[in-house]
Chain A
């Protein structure tokens, strides 16, 4: 654990009182200059630390703290890379040489979604990327994103007791607002025509204060818990992370069996509803009638014509 992490642990253990620089230096067994440097590191990572002369320092914002030891014991086969703050967990995961790794952060400075769209990643969120070798055939690869959406929903239900629905293809909605985004990236070889590695990036608004979603996010985003105070007393972030990873891993191991599809259909936010389909320049209203065995969405237009939607240029808007 580096000085910044040690300091964060001390400050977050007792948020109500001020910690003097000298006291912190003593507790950490380092110089006051080292404490000051660690403080700067934390501030640069986005933590708000109040400093008052003659009184000391106090951590203001809620900071999500996981326990490395606990995660290691829960996920023994995974190589763990834990950060307070990082530019993007997916970017980091893609740069790793390892076969199987979990990258976890409490804050992303350059969180990214599909086509590099910005993904707002404040404190109070859970940002994790899983790197794993692709063992399944390429024909099953397009099922990964839908399977991941089911796995995360099921882990949330098990550890938080909250039911999320899935907006096709892979957005998780809680109380009709987006609570989680998933970005899956694969590396394909030109000659082999095979996937060599897959990175599944998950951004979950766990306990971000709902009022902190501003602008365009205000009416479309939410979090599972409205602020850290709303977390149940026995809640463990480590347990949730481990459950997400294990559920996803199990689901990917049996991807070809398509056993996740029943839950995928059951949790669908769009099935049976009118949707607006944006496909390139065209836009039409249709009814979502089925999800086929490839997780494609089948829609029926006003004339009774059915279309199977599968690709990225299609964007679905729920008719409210």
Chain B
């Protein structure tokens, strides 16, 4: 790696992968790169990248807007929780690949803790509701890409 402008992306990814860093951000005149490790144990994923130089190998962006995206809405009125407990890691975050039957969030109504289960495999593109806030019936919660 001679200079930042001419670095090899695969080398950066390997370095990041073997490091204990949870986040890495590099920007220079020609591009910017942001790497984030979602949950310990999950593979490293390029979260956002804008590439202008041809020497840098591009990786596909997480959200491809040309593909069809689904909106998951709230089936009930209640309080929206992204984590099973206040200090626990979230059920999902942007970029998470969700299996069929996996829990996306909890919506609480009158102390009934409803775990919202996804009935198909998908990737979380965007989280549309704020944690610990009241959500209405039909309010968009997640933007997802079906897999």
User: Footprint of B on A, CB under 8 Å?
Assistant: 114-117, 138, 141-146, 169-170, 182-196, 198, 294-296, 310-313
Residues of chain B within 8 A of A310, CB atoms compared? 77, 109-110
Which of A116, A183, A192 has most chain B Cβ within 10 Å?
Answer: A116
1/0 contact trace for B113-133 toward A, CB 8 Å? Answer: 111111110000000000010
The listed residue (B112, B118, B132) touching A190 by CB distance below 8 A is B118
Q: How far is the CB of A147 from chain B (nearest CB, A)?
A: 10
In the complex, what residues of B have CB within 8 A of residue A196's CB? 117
* Cross-interface CB contact of A145 among B72, B110, B116, B118, cutoff 8 Å: B110
Q: What's the minimum C-beta distance from A193 to chain B, rounded to whole angstroms? A: 4
- The stretch of B7-15, B28-36, B78-86 that contacts the partner chain: B78-86
Whether B117 lies near A190 (C-beta < 8 A) is: yes
Alpha-carbon distance A188/B78, docked complex (angstroms): 13
Question: Nearest chain B CB to A138's CB is how many angstroms away?
Answer: 6
From B72, B77, B111, A184 is in contact (CB under 8 Å) with B111
- Among A138, A184, A187, A312, the residue within 8 A (CB) of B117 is A187
Contact of A145 with B112 at beta-carbon distance under 8 Å, contacts A115-B85, A116-B88, A190-B104 already known: yes
Q: Which residues of B contact A117 (CB under 8 A)?
A: 85
Contacts of A145 in B (CB 8 A): 110-112
Other than the given A184-B112, A186-B113, A198-B112, 18 more pairs (CB < 8 A) read A116-B84, A117-B85, A141-B112, A142-B78, A142-B112, A145-B111, A183-B113, A185-B115, A186-B115, A188-B76, A188-B115, A189-B117, A190-B117, A190-B119, A192-B119, A194-B75, A310-B109, A312-B79
Is the CB–CB distance between A144 and B120 below 8 Å? no
- Some 17 contacts from A to B, beta carbons below 8 A apart, are A115-B85, A115-B113, A182-B111, A183-B111, A183-B113, A184-B112, A186-B113, A186-B114, A187-B117, A188-B75, A190-B72, A190-B120, A196-B117, A310-B77, A310-B110, A311-B108, A311-B134
Knowing A191-B119, A311-B108, say if A184 contacts B113 (CB, 8 Å): yes
Nearest-neighbor residue (CB-CB) of A115 within chain B: B85
Q: Which residues of B contact A (CB under 8 A)?
A: 72, 75-79, 81, 84-86, 88, 104, 107-120, 132, 134
Is A115 touching B112 in the complex (CB atoms < 8 A)?
A: no
Given the interface contacts A115-B85, A187-B117, A190-B116, does A312 sit within 8 Å of B75 by beta carbon? no
Contact assessment for B109 and A187 in the assembled complex, using a CB-CB cutoff below 8 Å: no
B72 contacts across to A, CB distance below 8 A: 190
Assembled-state Cα–Cα distance A170/B81 (Å)? 20
Residue with the greatest number of chain B CB neighbours at <10 A, chosen from A144, A198, A310, A311: A311
Given contacts A115-B85, A116-B84, A312 and B119 within 8 Å (CB-CB): no
Give Cα A310 to B108, complex, Å. 10
In the complex, are the beta carbons of A141 and B109 less than 8 A apart? yes
Contact A169 B110, CB 8 Å, known A115-B86, A190-B104: yes
